[in-house]
């Protein structure tokens, strides 16, 4: 479904990704793992067309995205929950959610309008509250809700449990699993919480210095691999 071939990405003249090959089938869940600064967020930015310069190929459902501007990649069905959430603090919850709807194509693809409030009822309750006045966990729910309102085929989630109070972490993890297991949305997750990554994922990749250094079905993620490539 999403296929990436020989992806390279640059910040100015500095190469942050090289030779990345990835493939994820429709409805599957992939974890992207690795220490700080290895290029996980950069991989997402490259998929979305947010880098200065990229090389290689990115295709979604067989259609090439790599020459498209970011808004067209969103139209094509890529939803994004950025690291740090990217909520607009002076916009209300309603306005932040509306930002997601701007990325729709209106081509009659599946919509998740009701699902957003079903999985995150607090968002309905706080529709008129400013985004910046929500707790970290509520902001994360808002960021996921905003991504859902783009009517995505795939969602890229960058560390959605980072810095969130433990009681809300569980709700967020549950919601992410529901999106995948019940609603069939394909997910790529960057996550430091290995237990969650193991529970949720079908497959994994581990990155180091802008490359993929290990990958496979999640069952093959051994303690040995984790010790070698991760801060655990
Ligand atoms: N805006 C930028 N300009 C220049 N270099 C950058 C920029 N953002 C990231 N980098 C560099 O690119 C490399 C990959 O960074 P990236 O943010 O993708 O890592 P990450 O794996 O997401 O890390 P973390 O786990 O801390 O979020 C790092 O060496 C980082 O210093
Ligand atoms: Mg990152």
Q: What is the mean pLDDT of residues 23-47?
A: 97
Provide the pLDDT confidence category of residue 110 given band limits of 50, 70 and 90: confident
Q: What is the DSSP string of 105-172?
A: --SS----HHHHHHH-HHHHHTTTSBGGGS-HHHHHHHHHHHHHTT--SEEEEE-TTTT--HHHHHHH
The predicted model scores a pTM of 0.96
> Would you say the CB of residue 20 lies under 6 angstroms from ligand 1?
no
Residue nearest atom 12 of ligand 1, based on CA coordinates? 16
Which residue, among 38, 58, 70, 48, has the nearest Cα to 157 in the 3D structure?
Answer: 48
Report which ligand 1 atom has the smallest distance to the Cα of 192.
Answer: 25
Report which ligand 1 atom has the smallest distance to the Cα of 43.
Answer: 18
How far out from the chain centre does Cα 50 lie?
A: 14
Q: What is the pLDDT of residue 232?
A: 57
Distance, CA of 188 to CA of 199 (rounded, Å): 14
Provide the pLDDT confidence category of residue 111 given band limits of 50, 70 and 90: confident
Mutating to test ligand 1, I would choose from 11, 18, 190 the residue with most ligand atoms within 8 A of its C-beta, which is 11
Q: What is the mean pLDDT of residues 100-124?
A: 87
CATH code of domain 2-229: 3.40.50.300
In the chain, what are the domain boundaries?
A: 2-229
Q: What is the pLDDT of residues 68-98, one digit of tens each?
A: 999 999 999 999 999 999 999 999 999 999 9
Which residue, among 171, 89, 79, 185, has the nearest Cα to 129 in the 3D structure?
Answer: 89
């Amino acid at each position: 479904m999403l296929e990436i071939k020989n992806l390279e990405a640059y910040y100015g003249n500095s190469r942050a990704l090289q030779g990345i090959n990835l493939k994820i089938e429709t409805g599957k869940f992939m974890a992207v793992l690795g220490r700080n600064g290895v290029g996980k967020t950069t991989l997402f930015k490259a998929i979305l067309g947010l880098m200065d310069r990229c090389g290689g190929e990115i295709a979604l459902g067989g259609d090439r995205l790599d020459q498209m501007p970011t808004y067209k990649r969103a139209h094509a069905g890529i939803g994004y929950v950025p690291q740090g959430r990217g909520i607009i603090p002076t916009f209300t919850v309603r306005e932040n959610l509306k930002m997601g709807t701007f990325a729709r194509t209106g081509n009659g693809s599946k919509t998740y309008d009701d699902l957003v409030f079903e999985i995150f009822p607090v968002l309905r309750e706080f529709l008129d509250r400013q985004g910046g006045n929500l707790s970290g966990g509520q902001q994360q729910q808002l960021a996921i809700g905003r991504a859902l309102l783009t009517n995505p085929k795939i969602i890229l989630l960058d560390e959605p449990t980072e810095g969130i109070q433990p009681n809300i972490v569980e709700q967020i993890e549950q919601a992410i699993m529901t999106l995948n297991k019940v609603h069939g949305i394909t997910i790529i997750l960057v996550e430091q919480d290995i237990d969650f990554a193991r529970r949720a994922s079908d497959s994994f990749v581990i990155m180091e210095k802008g490359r993929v250094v290990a990958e496979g079905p999640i069952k093959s993620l051994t303690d040995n691999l984790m010790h070698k490539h991760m801060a655990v």
